[in-house]
Chain A
Amino acid sequence: MKVIEVTNLIKIYNESEVKVNALNGIDLGIEEGEFTAIVGPSGSGKTTFLNMLGGLDMPTAGEIRVGGTDICGLSSSQLIDFRLRNIGFVFQAYNLIPVLTAIENVEFIMQLQGTPKQERETRAKELLHQVGLGDRMNSRPAKLSGGQQQRVAVARALASKPKFVLADEPTANLDSKSTENLLDMMEELNRKEQVTFIFSTHDQRVVHKARRVITLEDGLVISDERK
Chain B
Amino acid sequence: MMIAVAWRNVWRNKTRSLVITIAMSLGLASGIFYMGFYRGMMDQRIQTAIATEASHIQVHHKSYLENPDKKFFITQVDSTLDAIRKETGVNAVSSRIILNTMIQSAATGSGVKITGIVPENEKLVTNLYTKIAEGSWFKDGKRNPIVIGRKLADKLKVKLKSKVVITLQDMEGNMTAAAFKVEGIFETSNTAYDENCVFVQKADLARVMVMEENACHEIAVLLNDNALLDQVNTELIGKFPDLDIKNWREVMPEVYLLESSFNLTMFIFIGIILLALLFGIINTMLMAVLERTKELGMLMAIGMNKTRVFMMILLETAMLALFGGMWGILLGWLLNFWFGIQGIDLGAWSTAYESMGFDTLIYTHLPLSVSLQIAWMVMVTGILAAIYPAIKALKLKPAEAVRIDM
Binding site for B on A (CB under 8 A): 47, 50-51, 54, 56-57, 77, 80-81, 83-85, 89, 91-93, 95, 97-100, 104, 107-109, 111-113, 156, 160, 168-169, 200
Contact = CB atoms under 8 A, between A and B. Distances in A.
A93 B402 CA distance: 10
A56 B398 contact: yes
24 contacts: A50-B406, A80-B303, A83-B303, A89-B302, A93-B294, A95-B295, A95-B298, A95-B405, A97-B5, A98-B12, A98-B295, A99-B8, A99-B9, A99-B12, A100-B5, A100-B8, A104-B4, A108-B1, A112-B302, A112-B304, A113-B303, A156-B302, A160-B302, A169-B405
Interface in B286-300: 294-295, 298-300
Contacts of B5: 97, 99-100, 108
A84 B1 contact: no
Interface in B367-406: 398-399, 402-406
A151 to B, nearest CB: 17
B399 A107 contact: no
B301 A97 contact: no
B306 A77 contact: yes
B302 A92 contact: no
Contacts of A98: 12, 295
A93 B301 CA distance: 14
Interface in B1-51: 1-2, 4-5, 8-9, 12
B304 A80 contact: yes
Interface centre among A51, A111, A156 (most CB of B within 10 A): A51
B263 interface: no
B355 to A, nearest CB: 60
B71 interface: no
Contacts of A100: 1, 5, 8
Interface string B41-69: 00000000000000000000000000000
Interface residues of B, number: 26
Given A56-B398, A95-B294, A98-B12, A47 B406 contact: yes
Interface of B: 1-2, 4-5, 8-9, 12, 294-295, 298-306, 308, 398-399, 402-406
Given A97-B5, A99-B8, A108-B1, A91 B402 contact: yes
A57 B399 contact: yes
A77 B394 CA distance: 12
Nearest to A172: B405
A108 B4 CA distance: 11
B305 A93 contact: no
Contacts of A200: 406
Contact of B405 (A92, A107, A108): A92
A104 B399 CA distance: 24
A83 B299 CA distance: 11
Contacts of A85: 303
Contact of A107 (B1, B305, B403): B1
A69 to B, nearest CB: 15
Contact of A84 (B298, B302, B406): B302
A168 B305 CA distance: 22
Given A84-B303, A104-B1, A108-B5, 16 more contacts: A47-B403, A83-B301, A83-B303, A84-B304, A91-B402, A93-B404, A93-B405, A95-B295, A97-B5, A98-B12, A99-B12, A100-B8, A109-B302, A113-B303, A160-B303, A169-B405
A154 B9 CA distance: 23
B311 to A, nearest CB: 12
Q: Nearest 8 pairs between A and B by C-beta?
A: A84-B303, A99-B8, A56-B399, A95-B298, A92-B405, A57-B399, A47-B406, A93-B405
A47 B404 CA distance: 10
Nearest to A157: B302
A104 to B, nearest CB: 7
A111 B404 CA distance: 27
A223 B370 CA distance: 74
A82 B5 CA distance: 24
B1 A83 contact: no
A207 B108 CA distance: 114
Nearest to B7: A99
Given A91-B298, A99-B12, A80 B306 contact: yes
Contacts of A57: 399
Interface centre among B9, B302, B305 (most CB of A within 10 A): B302
Nearest to A91: B405
A51 B403 CA distance: 9
Contacts of B12: 98-99
A126 B120 CA distance: 89
B279 to A, nearest CB: 26
A14 to B, nearest CB: 15
